[in-house]
């Protein structure tokens, strides 16, 4: 299996990026890396992914930047009297595929010049996480448009609890970006649920 890097980004915050990252990590038995973690604590995203996957091949790589406040990186850094520089964000070296989880959405500020989008490499397989809330179509389309301005291509979209009929269909029709999967509302998110979705999406992920 050819090794790739997969960059996971949401159309907004709290749309399910970490769950999606865990699914893709499990599906590909890839490594996982969160470049910038804000709101650091015992329930960080890397720890969540570790608790959800069920394979012995994944390596969880340490974050490049860890900040305490649950805010955008630039604001969390300011509280700690720090100025972030994207040169601090160094990708881990691995012979495995790598799943990279971004922070928030594409234009979340890292400092006064750079956003999360600046962490995306041209060779990354970029996967957008969309969700079912009022305004999500607009946020999805805006995210795809801003990617175009940087010459970046979205490999596919994973939808999280989109219940309004026609939402996914109109995004597909307007953008041509394929749907890689859809997460239903689950009573609990555990490794069994992650493994179920991983199996359902594996072939599409391998085909990217």
Please list the active-site residues.
34
Phi/psi of residue 23, nearest 5 degrees: -60, -45
Q: Among the residues of 45-180, which ranges form H helices?
A: 45-52, 73-79, 136-149, 167-175
CA 164, 15, 168, 179 dihedral sign is negative
Report the alpha-carbon distance of residue 113 to residue 118 in Å, rounded: 10
The neighbouring-strand residues paired with 60 are 32
Token pair, residue 85, equals: 């520089």
What is the length of the chain? Answer: 208
């Amino acid at each position: 299996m050819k090794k790739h890097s997969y960059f996971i980004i949401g159309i907004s915050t709290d749309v399910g990026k970490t769950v999606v990252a865990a699914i893709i990590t499990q599906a590909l038995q890839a490594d996982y890396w969160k470049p910038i973690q804000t709101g650091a604590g015992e329930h960080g995203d890397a720890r969540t992914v570790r608790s959800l996957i069920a394979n012995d091949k994944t390596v969880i790589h340490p974050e490049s930047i860890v900040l305490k406040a649950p805010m955008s990186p630039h604001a969390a850094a300011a509280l700690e009297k720090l100025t972030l520089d994207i040169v601090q964000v160094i990708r881990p070296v691995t012979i495995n595929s790598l799943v990279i989880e971004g922070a928030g959405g594409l234009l979340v500020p890292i400092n006064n010049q750079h956003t999360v989008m600046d962490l995306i490499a041209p060779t990354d397989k970029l996967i957008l996480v969309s969700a079912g809330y009022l305004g999500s179509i607009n946020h999805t389309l805006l995210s795809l448009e801003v990617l175009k301005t940087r010459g970046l291509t979205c490999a596919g979209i994973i939808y999280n609890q989109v219940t309004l009929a026609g939402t996914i269909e109109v995004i597909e029709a307007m953008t041509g970006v394929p749907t890689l999967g859809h997460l239903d509302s689950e009573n609990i998110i555990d490794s069994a649920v992650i493994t179920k979705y991983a199996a359902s999406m594996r072939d599409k992920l391998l085909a990217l």
